[in-house]
Structure 1
């Protein structure tokens, strides 16, 4: 590969290859970028031809990066981060409070705790547009699909500015009728699906269940709440998601998790990003020990 040929490197080829490297499948990459999987294949083949290097090995539906593919993916990820930072600067004014800010947060938490501070902030700063994405993992932040994230796990690496917002308490709840009619030895439980098996709250639920059946599973916290209210079993809920008609089960079941506010360091001082950060921090700072908002009927 000579220098003249290298200048013809197509960023779109690199972007499609990075999506494939991150997702591990053509279908996953296609969903991430909103294109057909054939487009991913064509773009990756184009990049391999340009670089004159084999970047992937196909293993059925999954792909494995070659050694050189891993190197290219590493450099492409850095380029993607810097490109996204430039795009964010373009979306936001350097001096005025206006621009588009993307927030990633767990869906149930977003509904219960984020609507009010975001709407209030926009009354004061109508030039700021917000996109809120329900996301439980760091994927959207790592890929620069979000500018700000609220997470239950503190990121271990990355160039982020990180603030602890507060602590959330998870505990066991069930309906009054369920507790009155079902003996503890016969309890069944309501938990998350397999994708959340490693989460601390699911591990604690498994520990409490102690062999008793987890009969209902869902990634949607609102469904878990609804099932418990209909006498469907015992559920572990964060304090902000507990409706008035569920009863806490006495015992040493509680689990405390920390809630973190995460933002990319290079954009944290942009005016539009700063006002959103301040609104979120103030919302959690006002009454850190008060009863959280509850899900209504």
Structure 2
């Protein structure tokens, strides 16, 4: 009989990732959404990991899922495993010297829909061997976790291990369709409440901005509300009311009229970020530099 104890099997990395997602999200539903999978699939993954470890990892409470003692003991080793996998992935990606391959970008919905398509068309024309994946989301994806290779953000990233470049400040403005304005009173600081406005639903961003400018409004100030900014902008273009967007986006529609130019709306900063190791990869460097040039134009 072998006196040495049999080594425990290495946990499946996909199961560990599922476990960490549930830990961070606090529920199967939120974790499944973040992983872009179904709740039953995620439940099976957690059950499989529990079978491998021989212990229950979560218990249900009135507030959702909480870790058991065995689950608590697994969190830090799982995070070390995640960090090692991320470091390995970055090292491999940083040494890929061929241009052929995929560049995964993430940007806001408005940037993805109205600014990036012609920029990416130019990039593809110049380098057809580079494939592009674009994650259009207002959520700030984690470059360190390789959710994206390059991010276009409207806030400066805080992670010190990222290459960060401030490429532009995009002016914003108030706009309405000419059909909406026809026959209505002029739009002035004194007649704001006499007009229909297009705003956000759950997000307080616009309400906070108006209040900071001295206008005490609430959500009912906006006759049309939607947190999807593309839908909101298309509502402005359809004549539902007055909205705010990047001047470079509004300039594409000759039927839109800029309003209240005397209002000093803070510009939208544009930051381009990538992981330092990825800048050593030719296709990543080419994509990063092309984006920086085009977005600054």
TM band (smaller chain): 0.7 to 0.9
The alpha-carbon deviation at position 43 of structure 1 amounts to 2.4
Normalised by the length of structure 1, the TM-score is: 0.79
Residue in structure 2 matched with residue 147 of structure 1 by the alignment: 149
1:34–1:8 distance in 2 versus 1, CA, 3 Å: same
Q: Distance in 2 between matches of 1:74 and 1:266?
A: 25
Residue in structure 1 matched with residue 109 of structure 2 by the alignment: 107
Are the equivalent residues in 2 in contact too, given 1:92–1:99 (CA < 8 A)?
no
Superposed, 1:205-284 pairs within 5 Å as 205=210, 207=212, 210-211=216-217, 213-242=221-250, 243-244=253-254, 245-284=256-295
Normalised by the length of structure 2, the TM-score is: 0.79
The alpha-carbon deviation at position 76 of structure 1 amounts to 3.5
SS for the counterpart of 1:139 is coil
The alpha-carbon deviation at position 66 of structure 1 amounts to 5.7
SS for the counterpart of 1:262 is strand
Q: Distance in 2 between matches of 1:136 and 1:77?
A: 26
Worse overlay, 77-86 or 4-13: 77-86
SS for the counterpart of 1:113 is helix
Residue in structure 2 matched with residue 290 of structure 1 by the alignment: none
1:74–1:153 distance in 2 versus 1, CA, 3 Å: farther
1:265–1:77 distance in 2 versus 1, CA, 3 Å: farther
Give aligned pairs, total.
282
SS for the counterpart of 1:181 is coil
The alpha-carbon deviation at position 169 of structure 1 amounts to 2.3
Q: Distance in 1 between matches of 2:192 and 2:143?
A: 42
The alpha-carbon deviation at position 121 of structure 1 amounts to 2.1
Structure 2 gaps of 5+ residues are: 186-190
1:52–1:170 distance in 2 versus 1, CA, 3 Å: farther
Q: Distance in 2 between matches of 1:274 and 1:94?
A: 12
Superposed, 1:112-191 pairs within 5 Å as 112-139=114-141, 141=143, 143-157=145-159, 159-176=161-178, 178-179=180-181, 181-182=184-185, 183-191=191-199
CA RMSD of aligned residues (A): 3.2
Structure 1 gaps of 5+ residues are: 288-297
Residue in structure 2 matched with residue 203 of structure 1 by the alignment: 208
